[in-house]
Amino acid sequence: MQVLPGESPRLGGEDKAHVVRLAALDCALPPILVDRKTMRVIDGIHRLMAASIKGHKLIDVEFFDGSCEDAFLRGVEANVEHGLPLTHADRTAAALRILKSHPNMSDRAIAKSTGLGARAVAELRRSSDCVPKSEFRVGRDGKVRPLDGAKGRLRVAELIMENPDASLRQVARVAGVSPATVLDVRRRLERGDEPVRRPEAPVDTEAASPKDPGSFQNLSEVVPQLTATLEKLMRDPSLRQSELGRRLLRMFKENVLGAKDMTDIVASVPSHCIELIIQLSRHNSQIWDEFAEELKRRAQVGRPH
- pLDDT mean by block of 10 residues, the chain; 305 residues: 89 92 91 94 94 93 94 93 87 95 92 91 90 80 71 87 90 82 88 74 42 48 70 82 84 73 73 80 80 77 52
Strand partners, 145: 137
Contacts of 113-117 with C-beta under 8 Å, sequence gap 24+, read 113/73, 113/76, 113/77, 113/80, 114/76, 114/80, 115/80, 115/86, 115/91, 116/91, 116/92
Q: What angle do CA 134, 109, 128 make, to 5 degrees?
A: 50
> What's this model's pTM, rounded to 2 decimal places?
0.52
pLDDT (0 to 100) of residue 21: 93
pLDDT (0 to 100) of residue 202: 46
| Euclidean distance between CA atoms 42 and 35, whole angstroms | 6
pLDDT (0 to 100) of residue 133: 83
Strand partners, 40: 4
pLDDT (0 to 100) of residue 213: 44
The type of residue at 275 is E
Buried b (16+ CB within 10 A) or exposed e, 176-212: bbbbbbbbbbbebbeeeeebeeeeeeeeeeeeeebee
| Euclidean distance between CA atoms 48 and 242, whole angstroms | 55
Instruction: Tell whether the torsion through CA atoms of 5, 9, 15 and 19 is positive or negative.
Output: negative
pLDDT (0 to 100) of residue 198: 64
pLDDT (0 to 100) of residue 206: 39
Q: How far is CA 303 from the centre of its chain?
A: 39
Q: Judging by DSSP bridges, how do beta strands 136-138 and 41-43 pair with one another? A: unpaired
pLDDT (0 to 100) of residue 61: 94
pLDDT (0 to 100) of residue 201: 44
The type of residue at 17 is A
| Euclidean distance between CA atoms 75 and 98, whole angstroms | 11
pLDDT (0 to 100) of residue 208: 42
pLDDT (0 to 100) of residue 228: 76
